[in-house]
Structure 1
Amino acid sequence: MDMDGDWSLPKPNTLFKVKRRTAGSSLSKASSIASTFSSLAAPVAAEAVQRARDLSTERDPEGFHQLRVAFRKLRALYWAYSPYIGEEATVQATAEFKRLAEVAGCTRDWDIAGDLLRTAQESGASVELLVAAAREKRAQAVAHSQTMIKSDDVEAFLNDALLRAQTTLQSSCSDRPIRAFAEKRVRLAQRTLQKRCKRAARSESADEEGLHDVRKAGKKLRYLLEFFQPIIKGGHGRTIKELTSVQNKLGQFNDIAASEALLRGASFNDVPTEVVQESLKWLEKQKCQRMRAASRRVRDISN
């Protein structure tokens, strides 16, 4: 997507230069749909800008991961408010959130792959050359991420995107209370997760795509519950805890699947083919084990 073509990038203003606060701390049942958007979006956007700024000079694996998480949270928030933000604006913004998350995630993916290869090495697989090659790929991914993610551009884009959304919301729902709307969007996210869980559970054999769909739907629901927990009926702490547990199991499977795909799609000129194949066989075995565990967990929650 041509970001300059779709979004005019103004000079960064002070919209997100705010003190870090707990998401949702300023929300109340009497808040409007429009006012809650800025309350929820501003801390996440501020974190994304700070993470992007830090990563211009640092190479911390957790920093890249948390930057990706921030963009994922913004995608979930835009989905929640999309009935009033509008389809076109939502699609444009979330496409850029996704692109930026993927750029940040490239480094994180090589970190995970490298950790798995070192585990394979400890278990007896002869993958020393591939471990070294993965470190080089990771260094290349860092350089690419740092080139593609400029903190000033990220801040300007986020300021522009969120200001557009806030302006639209203020004109369309500034006087509408948040509670019923938030509960409706959470219920919709819950139904989507339930459908995907049941679909995955009905599959006779483990299905990678189905488990991935469950994982995405679960993340969206968890983020929305974390955003809206102060204002929606009922305590959802237990649900968030359960979703986190499921996500951990699905995440373990996804790490293997993503690493396998990463190795299959990469070229290793200085690594013998048989070494790569040995690693892929090890990953395939691990993936099958984790897929079965993830499938059992999904069947449990679908029931």
Structure 2
Amino acid sequence: MKSDSNQSANTVGDWAKIALEKHFQTTIQYEEDVLSDRDPEALHQMRVGMRRLRSVAKGFAPALDLPKAARQSQIGQISRSLGSLRDLDVLLETLETDYQDTLPDGEQEEFKRALTLLKFERNQAFDAVRETLNSEIYLSFKNSLAEWLNSPSFGQMALLPIQHILPDLLLPAVSELFLHPGWLLGIKTKKGKVKSDNLTETEVQELFAHQGETLHDLRKQVKRVRYQMSLFTKFYGEAYSEYVEDLKEIQEVLGKMQDSVVLAETLSRVLGSALPETLPTLAEKLLENRYLSWLEWQPLHQQYLKPQIRDHLRLELLYPIPSSKSKKAGGKKKKS
């Protein structure tokens, strides 16, 4: 089945094409700047574009007939290369901006040695990105998706009105998010009721030592759901948009905790010994900041453990509304 590009955007196929084209154009517009290594922001935007492309390909998978070179696995392979370089850029910027001037003179030499080693790794990561963006995999991805956008093909589900299928697209992702084991970290149950526990800094440190990867995976799941839901704000009211903003906030606060973990692990690796032994002041500051982020996470955590909040979100997803009425419909979600 071929899509008529002149028809109004009413069907699942129409919206899949709109989303793919938007994020594809975002991705390729930054390609030259990334290859020239002029602006870290270009790399960030290209990476976000690839991530959102992958999210669209996954979210609309039942309706899409994409060429093999433009499917989720290929997009993910390219995105991972961009991600490795972007992670090093963020790490270096954080170290130089937030921590370098806070360390005592006795730690400056080791800190500068770490920066030198990380910048060497960063050069290697850039070489890998340049190789990726000049590879047959990337060129095939770009050409095949451009051809598909020029003459898209879909499965039969793409013919359905978008409003009829939206709950079925969104509810499975939200249900998977709510079932994630990361919500159960740092909580206690009593008589069937669930609430966050008041962990000390030492207890939070212990939690991350054994289950930090679970929280990191929760953040990735939050991000995927946020990307998918953000495609459809036009079809829902104000409460829906507030949930999307909440997901962004959750993603950011979980990200800050993960960043402190990655910083500590990376510095320990490049310096060849545990961070408290080489840079004890920095190690302590990272632990303090991780705990502050943990405290920031608690109100959001507690809110989304409440059955009524989860029920309200599910109900929002069940009833999309015409875009012409979306800004007039839907009240604010209940916080109680």
**Which TM-score bucket, shorter chain as reference?**
0.7 to 0.9
Structure 2 counterpart of 1:65: 44
TM-score normalised by length of structure 1: 0.74
Q: Residue type of the partner of 1:110?
A: L
Q: How does 1:146-225 map to 2 (within 5 A)?
A: 146-150=130-134, 154=138, 156-161=140-145, 169-196=153-180, 198-200=183-185, 202=187, 206=207, 207-225=211-229
Structure 1 counterpart of 2:237: 234
TM-score normalised by length of structure 2: 0.68
Tell me the CA shift for residue 209 of structure 1: 2.4
Structure 1 counterpart of 2:312: none
Classify the secondary structure of the residue corresponding to 2:174.
helix
**What does the per-residue CA deviation read over 1:11-49, in whole Å, with 9 as the maximum and x for residues that have no partner?**
xxxxxxxxxxxxxxx974xx1222221111012111111
Q: Kindly indicate whether the alpha-carbon contact (under 8 Å) linking 1:48 and 1:70 is maintained by their aligned counterparts in 2.
A: yes
Structure 2 counterpart of 1:122: 101
Q: Kindly indicate whether the alpha-carbon contact (under 8 Å) linking 1:104 and 1:145 is maintained by their aligned counterparts in 2.
A: yes
In structure 2, relative to structure 1, the CA distance for the partners of 1:175 and 1:117 (3 Å cut) is closer
Q: Residue type of the partner of 1:117?
A: L
Tell me the CA shift for residue 255 of structure 1: 1.8
User: Distance between the aligned counterparts of 1:187 and 1:282, measured in 2?
Assistant: 40
Q: How many positions carry a matched residue from both structures?
A: 272
Q: Kindly indicate whether the alpha-carbon contact (under 8 Å) linking 2:74 and 2:141 is maintained by their aligned counterparts in 1.
A: no
Structure 1 counterpart of 2:79: 101
Q: How does 1:285-296 map to 2 (within 5 A)?
A: 286-294=289-297
In structure 2, relative to structure 1, the CA distance for the partners of 1:156 and 1:168 (3 Å cut) is same
**What does the per-residue CA deviation read over 1:95-147, in whole Å, with 9 as the maximum and x for residues that have no partner?**
22222112112222112222333333322251122223323332332232222
Q: How does 1:45-60 map to 2 (within 5 A)?
A: 45-60=24-39
User: Distance between the aligned counterparts of 1:152 and 1:176, measured in 2?
Assistant: 35
User: Distance between the aligned counterparts of 1:73 and 1:80, measured in 2?
Assistant: 10
Larger radius of gyration: 2
Q: Which has the higher contact order (CA 8 A, sep 6+)?
A: 1
Q: Residue type of the partner of 1:238?
A: E
Return 5+ residue gaps in structure 1 as ranges. Answer: 1-25
1:243 aligns with 2:247: yes
User: Distance between the aligned counterparts of 1:202 and 1:168, measured in 2?
Assistant: 48
Return 5+ residue gaps in structure 2 as ranges. Answer: 1-6, 189-196, 198-203, 307-336
Tell me the CA shift for residue 87 of structure 1: 11
In structure 2, relative to structure 1, the CA distance for the partners of 1:88 and 1:146 (3 Å cut) is closer
Classify the secondary structure of the residue corresponding to 1:170.
coil
In structure 2, relative to structure 1, the CA distance for the partners of 1:155 and 1:41 (3 Å cut) is farther
Tell me the CA shift for residue 166 of structure 1: 9.3
User: Distance between the aligned counterparts of 1:224 and 1:280, measured in 2?
Assistant: 37
